[in-house]
Amino acid sequence: MTTIYLKPKKEESLKRFHPWVFSGAIARVVLDAKHQGDAPEEGELVCVRSAANEVLGVGHWQVGSIAVRILAFGVEELPKDFWAERIRAAYQVREAIGLIRPDNNTFRLIHGEGDFLPGLIVDVYADTAVVQAHSVGMHVCRNEIAEALMHEIPQVKNVYYKSDDTLPFKAPIEGEKVGYLLRNTGIPESRDTEEFWSTENGLSFRIDWLRGQKTGFFVDQRENRALVERYAKGKDVLNMFCYTGGFSLYALRGGAKSVDSVDVSQKAIDLVNVNVAKNFPKATNHTAVAADAFEYLTKQKGEGKTYDLIILDPPAFAKHRDAVKNALRGYQRINAKAIEMIRKGGLLFTFSCSQAVDKEAFRLAVFSAAAQVGRKVRILHQLHQPQDHPINIYHPEGEYLKGLVLYVE
């Protein structure tokens, strides 16, 4: 195996279990004898050693500022049953926190660094695991991962791979980035996600991993949706950026007087309607509209419309650090528009899933929005990502979702 030697003192963060080796920390690379080129191949397993030749761990080589993502610390090679062991350990956590129940078969099984598998995401929807690789190393290992999932997770009968949007786009990638890796032979080839339902806290969702965003569903809002359910009774609710209508279904079950779901994507709106019809076939208090958030709020305000509870769950406004300033302006603008439309004593559930925007910056943007509109606002809850999106304590970068529940007077 190729060996990466670090510069003196650069082993310290690895000894504290931070899973990344930055390219600037590397002193020299000693290539495996089999190697033809003059550098490791992207995705190759490499062993990392300190300047004093101590074994630090094994990881995937990457091109870029993060040169290695460590999979196993303190060993020279991956243990034989590595994938099975890691996947089993992740499943045991989900079981221990009560996420695997007859009325809940939707959960995140692997959350990258948070489950000690940097570069890998796996969401489970009933009998199907949807796998997303964020590194070439995980792409190379996709079949081993699929086998381990099928073997270790009792409910998994199919493994679908969906990495077309997540792999580094310049990387030399062999093999398909999208498609079934394993498929239960009992399932017809023609089976489409149109017939596919998954259950979250007793609510049914059609999950479209073939055409949907990310792995097909946003598992990360489960707990925050349950909080909306608690507060929805008798309220006029607006679910802005609704996607498949997660918050809308919980609000309806919580006894909302009316729910308006809005998303710019018509496909999302079609899914919301399907989901509402499945769970609340007699509901007459739900409307779904395909519209741009800013335009919708401006138009509704012009018509004097107000709400008791608004949910704002926009896509990541900042995908990179250099976009943070603009993102903060975006958060301020959209929050100001929403706060203006909340009735006295109403609630705003507002979120940011931009990893690059931290809690304090987001809170400041929302504060600026409240001040701009001149309403008296208090924070009732500070929300975050749920238990199946754990944050590796040595890798705080894994924290990304934050939310505030505001009481608006």
- Show which residues are catalytic: 353
Shortest separation between residue 290's beta carbon and ligand SAH, angstroms: 9
Residue closer to ligand SAH by CB (options 148, 238) is: 238
Residue 219 CA to residue 383 CA, distance in Å, equals 15
Please identify which residue in 292, 319, 371, 379 interacts with ligand SAH, judged by CB under 6 A.
292
Q: What is the DSSP letter of 184?
A: -
Shortest separation between residue 268's beta carbon and ligand SAH, angstroms: 5
Could you say whether residue 315 binds ligand SAH (CB under 6 A)? Answer: yes
Give the range of 185-193, 260-268, 279-287, 365-373 binding ligand SAH by CB under 6 A.
260-268
Please identify which residue in 61, 83, 243, 349 interacts with ligand SAH, judged by CB under 6 A.
243
Q: Exposed e or buried b for every residue in 2-14, given b needs 16+ CB within 10 A? A: bbbbbeeebbebb
Shortest separation between residue 222's beta carbon and ligand SAH, angstroms: 9
Could you say whether residue 335 binds ligand SAH (CB under 6 A)? Answer: no
Beta pairing, strands 55-61 & 66-73: antiparallel
Residue 57 CA to residue 20 CA, distance in Å, equals 11
Could you say whether residue 241 binds ligand SAH (CB under 6 A)? Answer: yes
Could you say whether residue 264 binds ligand SAH (CB under 6 A)? Answer: yes
Calculate ∠ Cα 167-173-177, nearest 5°: 60
Please identify which residue in 218, 317, 362, 400 interacts with ligand SAH, judged by CB under 6 A.
218
Please identify which residue in 42, 208, 313, 388 interacts with ligand SAH, judged by CB under 6 A.
313
Long-range contacts (CB closer than 8 Å, 24 or more residues apart) made by 326-330? 327/354, 327/356, 327/357, 328/357, 328/361, 328/362, 328/364, 328/365, 329/365
Shortest separation between residue 362's beta carbon and ligand SAH, angstroms: 16
3 state DSSP class of 354: coil
Residue for token pair 């609510």: 203
Looking at this protein, which amino acid is placed at residue 348? Answer: L
Could you say whether residue 208 binds ligand SAH (CB under 6 A)? Answer: no
Please identify which residue in 137, 246, 398, 403 interacts with ligand SAH, judged by CB under 6 A.
246
Q: For the chain, how big is the Rg over CA atoms in Å?
A: 23
Q: Which residues bind ligand SAH (CB under 6 A)?
A: 213, 218, 221, 241-244, 246-247, 263-265, 268, 292-293, 313-315
